[in-house]
């Protein structure tokens, strides 16, 4: 009872302002905003209720700021879309008005109401959610963000073009960098391409413009043949363990052989392999530890490997993937020019190219593997890549005919639609198929010397069955993320259902993950082309330098807090804690007696509340989300009516 009386004393004077958003009709089309406002006027503590078409707009923010400045309110509730979108927007508005940014509570009446309910039910639910937010707001106390020292140092994991770009951009901003690459070479998959579209640049030129800058920068240390083994700490003060060792038998064997045969020196580009750092390939295993302020994950992608028998792959030697074709095109360029593409000395008079292999897979239509899900996403770059290859072949080897089998042509991006137009001008023959009627690749048992026959129901000719003879079948394989399950587990970061690493928000926080201080760069996040991957890497570098540049970082104060007068040192909270080191039992003197009590490390506490749920003494709370506030919210939600 004493605690309840004390809580009443601290909250009785609060003046809550409620601001309800129409969201341009997203909310008001299904929720009667006016009625919600009328209902909320009866909630204890609410002194002002206003609405606006777009609360996140400048006029909407000015409305809140004006009421704070003139003293009408001292607590704020915004009822609008998900807090992940505009929580920061409203906190900043409160700060600009001279208020504490943590006297604010958010009610989500779009995703949780208008997008899933209609009519009176929607209005009733919205009213109760807003009333619950107002009840919580009465108990909000001003909080202060806390600072932790931040090392002016970053670690980039991955040495592809995105990792190289991120490392160099960081170094240019005065941040010391360690770059960790698992292979013996830098450049990633960009180094394994030939010419890139739309610029026509050699992939080798792109790598050799960037890799030497990284290798010669004194503030960047590169470790190749390295794998992360341990991770701990928090933003500004991470501790990363990694091991360098020679590749296992058979691993990177072809690339190492090509490096030796090429006679290239460290730092020089090895075609279709990459750049070997001056450190070379380590002879023995060695453990390393780095203290770092932030981590950029640039772990990249791998091309989809078709299943044995998928479009004849692994069954017929004439069925290859697009990356293999790109190498063949480059090899033909190095030899005497010929009107016909050659593979191992054999004339290729007819090529069948099949789109969407390993992308846009549909459950029930495509065969599923037990160990991995179907790739239901579009890999975005495959259409442009296969058409670019088709144009190069037709322009260089005009006697090689090309049949293109596609579901949809998705040549997105500036200048890329011209690829499709050029392919038509170059007399590439197009056939369109439905997913359930994919092309069938079989041995040619009919006339002619073409080893394969591709059969498809062509929707461009209203479902007519077409047969195309082929000397070579090329599968336009999609992108898959590299397997980084060990990093996901160590760093407690999130993957999407597609196994690409998941950002906090695709528009508002596109390169950050939920763990503060860890950022994403390039194709570990989604299928990107080279330009997009580098842009994302630069974005991650800018975000990292802004985070570490001041020498400290500010963290939200929503962390656990122990009431030492109630704590008995049972240790239940420590056992329940999900973040290692966030809660510990420490010895301290209380009333002349040495006892053990729970102590919070706010830098590692995530404010999850697991400790609060298990404490038998109710001695621990999360700032900004106390048990009393939860109880007030529940009371308001289940109230018979919303009234004073």
pLDDT digits 0-9 by tens, 284-315: 899 999 999 999 999 999 999 999 999 999 99
Q: Model's pTM, two decimal places?
A: 0.86
Domain(s) labelled CATH 3.50.50.60 in the chain stretch across 153-300+482-553, 310-478
pLDDT at position 84? 83
> Which architecture characterizes domain 310-478 according to CATH?
3-Layer(bba) Sandwich (3.50)
> Which architecture characterizes domain 559-622 according to CATH?
2-Layer Sandwich (3.30)
pLDDT digits 0-9 by tens, 31-40: 999 999 999 9
pLDDT digits 0-9 by tens, 546-566: 999 999 999 889 999 999 999
How many angstroms separate the CA atoms of 109 and 84, rounded? Answer: 13
187 burial class (0-12, 13-18, 19+ CB within 10 angstroms)?
A: buried
**Residue 451 pLDDT level (bands cut at 50, 70, 90):** very high
Q: How far from 564 is each of 215, 251, 604, CA to CA, in Å?
A: 53, 56, 20
pLDDT at position 642? 66
In percent, the amount of the chain with pLDDT more than 90 equals: 82
pLDDT at position 13? 65
Query: What are 26's two structure tokens?
Result: 């997203």
Exposure b/e, 543-562, CB count within 10 A at least 16 = b:
bbbebbeeeebebbbbbbbb
Mean pLDDT of 57-82: 96
Residue 529 has pLDDT above 80, yes or no: yes
Nearest CA-CA partner of 305 in 314, 315, 318: 314
How many angstroms separate the CA atoms of 509 and 506, rounded? Answer: 6
How many angstroms separate the CA atoms of 33 and 109, rounded? Answer: 10
pLDDT at position 641? 66
Domain(s) labelled CATH 3.30.70.20 in the chain stretch across 559-622
Residue 119 has pLDDT above 70, yes or no: yes
> Which architecture characterizes domain 11-145 according to CATH?
3-Layer(aba) Sandwich (3.40)
Element spanning 209, H or E: helix 203-215
**Residue 75 pLDDT level (bands cut at 50, 70, 90):** very high
Q: At what angle do helices 530-548 and 161-172 cross, to 10 degrees?
A: 30
What phi and psi values does residue 253 have, to the nearest 5 degrees? -65, -45
HSE-up of 180 (CA within 13 Å, CB side)? Answer: 23
The answer to whether the CB of 411 falls within 8 A of the CB of 437 is no
- The residue length of the chain stands at 644
Residue 342 has pLDDT above 90, yes or no: yes
Compute CA 456 distance to the chain's CA centroid, rounded to the nearest angstrom: 37
Query: 507 or 162: which carries more pLDDT confidence?
Result: 162
What phi and psi values does residue 171 have, to the nearest 5 degrees? -60, -40
Mean pLDDT of 323-327: 96
> Which architecture characterizes domain 153-300+482-553 according to CATH?
3-Layer(bba) Sandwich (3.50)
Sign (positive or negative) of CA dihedral 341, 345, 346, 347 = positive
């Amino acid at each position: 009872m004493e605690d309840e009386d004390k809580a009443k004393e601290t909250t009785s004077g609060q003046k809550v302002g409620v601001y309800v958003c129409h969201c341009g009709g997203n909310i008001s089309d299904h929720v009667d905003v006016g009625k919600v406002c009328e209902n909320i006027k009866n909630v204890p503590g609410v002194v002002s209720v206003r609405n606006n078409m777009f609360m996140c707009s400048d006029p909407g923010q000015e409305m809140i700021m004006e009421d704070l400045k003139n003293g009408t309110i001292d607590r704020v509730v915004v009822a609008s879309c998900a807090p992940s979108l505009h929580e920061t927007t409203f906190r900043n508005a409160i700060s600009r008005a001279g208020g504490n940014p943590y006297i604010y509570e958010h009610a989500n009446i779009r995703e949780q109401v208008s997008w899933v309910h209609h009519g009176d039910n929607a209005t009733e639910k919205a009213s109760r959610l807003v009333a619950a937010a107002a009840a919580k707001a009465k108990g909000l106390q001003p909080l202060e963000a806390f600072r932790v020292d931040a090392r002016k140092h970053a670690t980039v994991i991955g040495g592809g073009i995105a990792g190289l770009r991120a490392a160099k951009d960081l170094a240019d901003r005065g941040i010391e960098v360690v770059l960790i690459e698992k292979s013996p070479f830098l450049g990633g998959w960009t180094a394994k391409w030939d010419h890139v579209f739309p610029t026509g640049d050699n992939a080798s030129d792109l790598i050799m413009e960037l890799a030497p800058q990284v290798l010669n920068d004194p503030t960047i240390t590169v470790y190749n043949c390295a794998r992360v083994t341990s991770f701990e700490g928090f933003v500004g003060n991470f501790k990363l363990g990694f091991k360098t060792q020679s590749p296992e038998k058979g691993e990177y064997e072809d690339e190492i052989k090509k490096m030796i045969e090429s006679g290239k020196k460290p730092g020089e580009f090895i075609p279709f392999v990459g750049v070997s750092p001056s450190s070379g390939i380590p002879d023995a295993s060695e453990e390393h530890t780095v203290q770092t302020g932030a981590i950029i994950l640039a772990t990249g992608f791998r091309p989809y490997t078709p299943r044995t028998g998928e479009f004849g792959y692994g069954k017929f030697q004439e069925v290859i993937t697009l990356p293999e074709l790109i190498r063949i095109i480059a090899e033909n360029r190095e030899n005497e020019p010929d009107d016909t593409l050659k593979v191992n000395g054999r004339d290729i008079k007819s090529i069948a190219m099949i789109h969407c292999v390993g992308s846009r897979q549909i459950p029930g239509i495509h065969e599923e593997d037990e160990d991995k899900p179907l790739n239901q996403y579009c890999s975005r770059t495959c259409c442009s890549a296969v058409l670019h290859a088709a144009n190069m072949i037709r322009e260089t080897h005009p006697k090689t005919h090309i049949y293109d089998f596609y579901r949809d042509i998705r040549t997105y991006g500036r200048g890329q639609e011209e690829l499709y137009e050029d392919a038509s001008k170059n007399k590439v023959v197009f056939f369109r198929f439905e997913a359930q009627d994919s092309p069938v690749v079989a041995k040619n048992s009919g006339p002619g010397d073409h080893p394969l026959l591709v059969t498809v129901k062509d929707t461009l000719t209203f479902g007519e069955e077409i047969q195309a003879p082929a000397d070579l079948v090329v599968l336009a394989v999609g992108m898959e993320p590299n397997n980084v399950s060990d990093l996901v587990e160590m760093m407690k970061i999130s993957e999407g259902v597609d196994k690409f690493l998941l950002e906090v928000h695709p528009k508002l926080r596109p390169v950050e993950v939920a763990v503060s201080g860890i950022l994403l760069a390039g194709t570990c996040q989604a299928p990107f082309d080279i330009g997009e991957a580098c842009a994302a890497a630069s974005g991650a570098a800018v975000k990292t330098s802004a985070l570490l540049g001041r020498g400290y970082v500010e963290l939200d104060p929503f962390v656990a807090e122990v009431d030492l007068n109630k704590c008995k040192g049972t240790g239940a909270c420590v056992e329940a804690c999900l973040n290692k080191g966030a809660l510990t039992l420490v010895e301290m003197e209380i009333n002349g007696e040495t006892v053990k009590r729970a102590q919070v490390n706010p830098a590692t506490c995530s404010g999850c509340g697991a400790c609060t749920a298990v404490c038998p003494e109710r001695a621990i709370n999360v700032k900004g989300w106390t048990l009393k506030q939860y109880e007030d919210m529940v009371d308001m939600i289940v109230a018979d009516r919303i009234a004073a």
